[in-house]
Structure formats: C-alpha cells, structure tokens
Amino acid sequence: MKNNLLLAIGVLMINSLSAFGQGNSNNCDLPEISDTSGGGVYCTDEEVTLTITGELGDGTDWEWYANGDCEGDPINNESTTSITVTVTESIIYSARGVGGCVDEVDEGVECVQIEVILDDAPPEVDCPENMEVEAIVDECFAVVDFDLPTGIDNCSEEVMVEQIDGLESGDQFPVGMTTQKYSVTDENGNETICEFTITVLDTQAPEITCPEDIEVNNDPGICGAVVSYNIPEATDNCEDSEVDITLTDGLNSNETFPVGTTTVTYTATDPSGNSSSCSFNVMVNDVEPPKIIVKNIKNSKWPPNHKYFDMDITEFIESVTDNCTLLSTEDIIIDDVSSDEPQNGSGDGNTEDDIVISEDCKTVHLLSERQGSGNGRVYTVNLAVVDEYGNIGLAEIKAEVPHDKGKKGNPIDDGPVYTVNGCDIETSDEENGEEGQNSRIVNSNTRTLETYPNPFSTSFQIIYKPDSDDNVTVDLYSFTGAKIKRLYKGFVRAEKEYSWTFDTGNLNDELYLLIVNGKNSCVFKRIVHK
C-alpha cells in the first residue's frame, strides 16, 4: 500500500515537474550516491547487507532493484540505504534515489550497481602424484592401491568426487600408462579436475630357448655344411607383446657353416627393451679325406738286371686336393711299399733290400728283378696324405718288372707278399701350429700298428704299441673315408703293447682303413676284407 502510495506520489511529482516543461537540473537537487558496500563473493544462502552512502537531495526515496539497471519494480517497499539479501545466485543489485522533483527517468539520476557473486571458487583438491610401479613377476600387470582425491572448498563442507576415467584402487593395472581422472565439485558446481597417471613398468626380460648343439659332417666337396635349425622361441610375461628375436652372433639357419665350431646367439627383446640371449654351437666336422689323383703312367722296368731304379712319387701325382686344407704333392708320403714276390725268392738274384724307402718318404729305390718261375713282379707304392683334421687320403702307384718281353710281358699282381714301412702321420695339438696344420709326417721304421690276419673275414686282431701316453680312438673306415665302426676309445700307456680282437660282422670285399688317432699320433693301416 505504501509503495503504491509512494509511486502515486512519484508519478504525481513527475507529472507536476513535467508541468514546468523542462528537465530539473537547474531547479531540482538530484540524489547523489558517494559510496557502496556489500558487493563480493558469497556462499549459497549467505545473508548479506548491501549499503549505499549518499544524499537524497530533492528525491524522497532510495529504491533498490534486483538487476543492474534500476529498471522495473523496486525490490524494497520503503526508502532505505541498506537492504539485506540472501545469496542464491550471482546477481547485480542496483539502487538509485527518486521521488520529489526527481523524475524517475531523468537522465541525471544516478544508478549504482553492487555485484553479489555466488561462490565461483572451485574446491582445492589434494590430487595424488603420478605413480610408477613394476609389474608383478611373471605377470603383465600390477595391483595398485592409492588414495582417492580429496577437496576443501570455501563454501561447501563436502565436495563431490566423481571418477571420469581410469581404474579403481586395488585393480590390476596393465603394463603401460593409465590416466586416472576425477571431477571434484562443490555444491555450486564449481569443478576442479584431478588427473594423475599410474605407469606399470615391465622390467622382466623374455625367456628364450635355444636348440641343442648341432654336430654334422661337412657337405661333400666343401669345407662346411649347410645347417638348418629351428629359430629359438621366446615367451614374455606380457604374452600379447611382440617380442623381437634377432640373430646377434653366428649364422642364420640354412647358411653354410664352416668346418669348426660356430656359436649362434639369439637375443629376444620385449617392447620395454628387456632382453635376454641364448646360444648354441654348430659343429661341422671335416670327414672328407684328401684326394690324390695319380698320373696314368705304366711304370715298367726292363731288363731285370738287379739294379735299383728310383721312383720319385712327385712324378706320378697329377694332383692332390682337399675340401678344407690346401695341399701340395710335397705333403704326400710313402706309407709303405709292397711286393707281390718275396724279397729273396728263387731266381731273383739272392739280393736283400729290394725295397728301400728314402728318409723323407718321397722316393723309393726298387730292385729291378723278378722270380724266374713267376708271372712278373708288381711293386705297389702306397701313398698317403693327411688334411688338417686328420683325414687320410690314400692312393697307390705301381711299378712292374715283367717276367719277359714276350707273352708274360704284363705282370700279374698277386697281392703283397712282403711290405716295407714308410712314414706315419704324427698329430700334435699346438707345437706345429705355425704351419697351420696339426699333423706332420714322421718316419717310422718300426710299425706301432699291425693287424692279423690281413686280409680278414669276420674278425681281426690289432697289435698296437704307442710311443707315448695318449687317449686314442680306434676306428674302421671305408676306403672313401666313411666311418664304419668305432672299435675302441680309451687311454693307452707308452711302450705298452695292446692286443685287441674285433668282430667286424658282414662287410663287403674291399679295402678298409684302420686308424688309431690320438693327441700325439695318428697311425693307420690298410686292411682287406675277403
């Protein structure tokens, strides 16, 4: 009622002032507001008193408005310099003085603003630090516990914490980085985002498994062998991760591995850079004997005049080759020389030393004589050469002394009747290393190795007398170098005579090679199966 009355008076006054026909700046003292107080930030439902300080002048009322421009209906119903409001939202209050001679639309009437701001301060949040933990052994995750973020707000006693992203405390966190994101809000909707990361580290290397060592013989004709193997496989604690498996030493499968031992190493690396390696050996043995090719020379001596003729073996050799070792004719020695007629048979001159082998085993002096009752004499010169791995290559050359120049002009080889030993092959580990070979030829006037009978049928006896203590193997080889059977392996004492008998079982009727191989020497003997 009073408000309406005042309005009515105001309208009346404006009307009456308007009746003077002009604005009132000259004859109406306008209200003046010199100060305001009470503006600021408040929490919800806080009561705040807004005050202006000023002179009403010729106005009659102070009017307050709940907007910033002193328009519309005032919110107070009596003139006052203070009002008390309850804050529920951000709002700009305004006030002015009107009434009396002051026209409410007078441009000179001052409208002051007092801004009341509802809490705009987001909570202060205690957000966990970024975390870094190692995965559980053999697993690709870690169980991580952490405190939820907490907030303190200027207005709200309790803040609301809501998870936006990530996992929960106590969950299994996968290897890698997980972002935890939370919204912390006060009751007025002011929000603080809390974000931290949980990084789980994979520090466990993959497990890689290599194949067993591989041992093979050389491929024919080359000093190596093509070897295939299974690529190692690896498992990682992170099963789904791509583990890189790389050859870090040695050769790939299906490459040609050289004779000797090649160590092959593979390394497995997981995406976190953890790595582990495994190795295995590929051993390629050279089992191929050297090949001696002899020239096709008919070496026939006439007349049988009981004089020596010389055979220099180098003149009879076309070539000597090996898959690994560079050999020359100089490396070939006379192993032994046999005759198919006795040394001092009937009608051959009653001479001794029909066969004399030179000290270096490169030349043999042969007597040009034969039995008067025979079919012609055949000398067989057995040659041997050894490669650096102890494989022995053999060949033979013949010399003939015909019975006569007529119908018995082509002597028949009746097989060895007596034999003169040449040189043996001695092996050594290091002493002869500078020659690049582990073997050398030594002259052996006395045989350390004999076999009986020779030819043999199903068994034979070995008599072996080593020069020095040694670990030896006794193996039977085919003439082309293939090992047929290991007969013995063990320690032998110097100067002791060993006698072994071996059953060989069924073998073809051909030439075999018996090799006794030790650290210090390698001796061999041809034996014939019949």
The window from 13-21, 355-363, 368-376, 452-460 that contacts Ca ion (CB under 5 A) reads: 368-376
Contact code string over 413-442 relative to Ca ion, x by CB under 5 A: -x----------------------------
Tokens of 283: 């051993």
Q: Which is nearer to Ca ion, 286 or 354 (CB)?
A: 286
Contact code string over 228-267 relative to Ca ion, x by CB under 5 A: --------xx------------------------------
**186 touches Ca ion by CB under 5 A:** yes
Coil, helix or strand for 115?
strand
The answer to whether 229 touches 253, Cβ cutoff 8 Å, is: yes
Q: How far is the CB of 270 from Ca ion (least distance, A)?
A: 4
Sequential DSSP letters for 493-509: -TT--EEEEEE--S--S
Reply yes or no: is the peptide bond before residue 174 cis, omega within 30 of 0: no
The window from 81-89, 91-99, 190-198, 349-357 that contacts Ca ion (CB under 5 A) reads: 190-198
Which residue from 277, 375, 419, 428 is in contact with Ca ion, where contact means CB under 5 A?
A: 375
Which residue from 58, 387, 400, 426 is in contact with Ca ion, where contact means CB under 5 A?
A: 387
Q: What share of the chain is helix, strand, coil (3-state, %, to 5)?
A: 5, 45, 50
**202 touches Ca ion by CB under 5 A:** yes
The window from 51-59, 178-186, 421-429, 472-480 that contacts Ca ion (CB under 5 A) reads: 178-186
The answer to whether 59 touches 110, Cβ cutoff 8 Å, is: no
- Phi and psi dihedrals of 107, rounded to 5? -65, -20
Contact code string over 83-122 relative to Ca ion, x by CB under 5 A: ------------------------------------x-x-
Amino acid at site 405: K
Tokens of 503: 């059953």
Q: Which is nearer to Ca ion, 155 or 200 (CB)?
A: 155
Cβ burial 489-500 (10 Å sphere, 16+ → b, else e)? eeebeeeeebee
- Phi and psi dihedrals of 320, rounded to 5? -135, 125
Count Cα neighbours of 364 within 13 Å in the Cβ-side half-sphere: 29
**391 touches Ca ion by CB under 5 A:** yes
Closest CA to 382 of 367, 364, 365: 364
Q: Map the footprint of Ca ion across residues 309-328, applying CB under 5 A.
A: 322-324
Taking the C-alpha atoms of residue 121 and residue 24, their distance in angstroms, rounded to an integer, is: 46
**388 touches Ca ion by CB under 5 A:** no
What sections of 396-462 are H helices per DSSP? none
Number of residues in contact with Ca ion, rule: CB under 5 A?
24
The window from 70-78, 96-104, 345-353, 388-396 that contacts Ca ion (CB under 5 A) reads: 388-396
Binding residues for Ca ion, per CB under 5 A?
Answer: 119, 121, 153-155, 186, 190, 202, 204, 236-237, 270, 274, 286, 288, 322-324, 340, 375, 387, 391, 412, 414
